[in-house]
Amino acid sequence: MQTVPHDTPTPASDQTAASEAGLDEVRVKPGDVGQPKYGGIGLWLRDLLVAATASVLIIIFLYQPVRVEGTSMLPRLEDSDRLFINKFVYRISSIERGDVVVFRYPRNTEQSYIKRVIGLPGDRLRIDHGVVWVNGKPQTESYVPEEYQDSESMAEIVVPAGSYFVMGDHRCISWDSRKFGPVDISFIYGKAVFVYWPTRDAGVVR
């Protein structure tokens, strides 16, 4: 499992991303070793092995469990939430505005951040007292509650080709493209899709 921090770095810790591996084992009882696998038991063991192998392949090639560290994606993602990211989706589809993505921090690729895509390549983007304008139109951002809005402004930029402007939903505290600039597509490696723990937060990430 990988830890995905997403708050403003502190002098002591700059949102370190820690990797953890968590795969279920298929255990064989001592009494089963060396015994012929006939009938129902043999079929059951075969199905179990196939299911376990399929699960491992799905985790390795499609989905990866990660842990959120920090609060800059509140209210949807809380500190220590566990979620699955889809590592394959952007090989067959484009990154869209509003996607919550996981990426390597451009200033230190050993760290990973999780943010929401606000600007696409070629977009003209500016921020006027907390209101995001894209291509001359103010954005309606229902995922940013009033208490998490800020009054920060930013001069207009054009998002470079192959790059994306990302921001945290908790605008008051998020360390994002307003500070480190647009993120090149080569750093983005997954889309957040589903929170599985704790159960009170379980559900699709929107």
Tokens of 198: 């704790």
In a domain, 68, yes or no: yes
pTM above 0.85, yes or no: no
In a domain, 152, yes or no: yes
Active-site position among 19, 37, 55, 72: 72
In a domain, 43, yes or no: no
- Residue 34 has a CB neighbour count (10 Å cut-off) of 6
Give pLDDT tens digits for 76-99.
999 999 999 999 999 999 999 999
The domain tally of the chain equals: 1
Phi, then psi, of 119 in degrees rounded to 5: -125, 135
In a domain, 49, yes or no: no
Active-site position among 115, 163, 174, 177: 115
Angle ∠(2,89,68) on CA atoms, nearest 5: 25
Average pLDDT of the residues in 187-201: 95
In a domain, 8, yes or no: yes
Q: How far apart are CA 55 and CA 152, in angstroms?
A: 45
Give pLDDT tens digits for 103-123.
999 999 999 999 999 999 999
User: Beta strands 137-138 and 131-134: pairing type?
Assistant: antiparallel
Whether 115 is a known active-site residue: answer yes
In a domain, 11, yes or no: yes
Residue with tokens 């889309």: 191
Whether residue 30 has pLDDT greater than 90: no
Q: How far apart are CA 203 and CA 206, in angstroms?
A: 9
Whether 186 is a known active-site residue: answer no
**35 vs 92 pLDDT, higher one:** 92
Show the domain range for 148. 2-17+62-204
- Residue 176 has a CB neighbour count (10 Å cut-off) of 21
Tokens of 92: 């067959």
The domain spanning residue 145 has which CATH number?
2.10.109.10
Angle ∠(174,179,183) on CA atoms, nearest 5: 95
In a domain, 46, yes or no: no
Average pLDDT of the residues in 30-55: 69
